[in-house]
Amino acid sequence: MTLDEYRNTCRAVHTELPRRYSQLRKSFKMLPLKTQRIWSDRLPASTAREYAALMKKINDRTFFGDTLQLYLDEVMEGLLNNPANRKWLKHAGTKGGSTASLLTQALYATSLTGDKTELAYFFKRAFCMGIAAAPGCHE
């Protein structure tokens, strides 16, 4: 699929979605892997290094304005909904994402004693991971 074909298909779906949302939601099915890869390959790209740098900016709490920082806290800091985490963490946030061929995770934390940590990792395509190896994973 060329980039122009992809863009035209996206526009058509975007136009149709509001009118047929309920119907489409009921008939949703998993897209074939080939289609998922076409979509995934056209998502905005970044690196683990850039994500870790962004986590540092969020964790330092000085880069973004107060209003945006409060919004980021609300979106990112679900870890602090657990009272056990609030016993040792002042701030902690995470953002992950995955497609059929990509797994990403970025996180930050500031302990009550002021220790800070930022981390990001990306696994792409043929990488297999898990507690138990999937059949055929290491072939």
Going from the C-alpha of 123 to that of each of 20, 46, 47, 118, 139, the distances in angstroms are 35, 12, 11, 17, 18
The domain segmentation of the chain, as residue ranges, is 3-41, 48-124
pTM of the model: 0.70
Quick: pLDDT tens for 10-57.
Answer: 898 888 888 887 777 777 777 788 888 787 788 778 889 999 999 999
- Give 131's pLDDT tier (boundaries 50, 70, 90): very low
Going from the C-alpha of 138 to that of each of 105, 125, 129, the distances in angstroms are 23, 13, 10
The mean per-residue pLDDT over the stretch 61-69 comes to: 96
What type of residue is 102? L
Buried b (16+ CB within 10 A) or exposed e, 54-64: bbeebbeeeee
What type of residue is 64? F
